[in-house]
Amino acid sequence: MGEVFIWRFLHQLAIRPLVWSEGADKAVLDHALSVEIPEILTLLEAQLPDDGLLCGDLSIADLSIAAFFRNASFVRFRTDPVR
Q: Is the dihedral of CA 12, 18, 19, 24 positive or negative?
A: positive
* Cα–Cα distance measured from residue 27 to residue 4, given in angstroms and rounded to the nearest whole number: 13
pLDDT at 79: 87
Higher pLDDT, 7 or 48: 7
Q: Tell me the mean pLDDT in the region 61-77.
A: 93
**CA 11 centroid distance within chain:** 11
pLDDT tens per residue, range 25-67: 999 999 999 999 999 999 998 988 887 788 888 999 899 999 9
Where residue 51 falls (left for φ over 0; alpha for ψ -120 to 50; beta otherwise) is alpha
Beta strands in 1-83 (DSSP E): none
pTM for this model (two decimals): 0.85
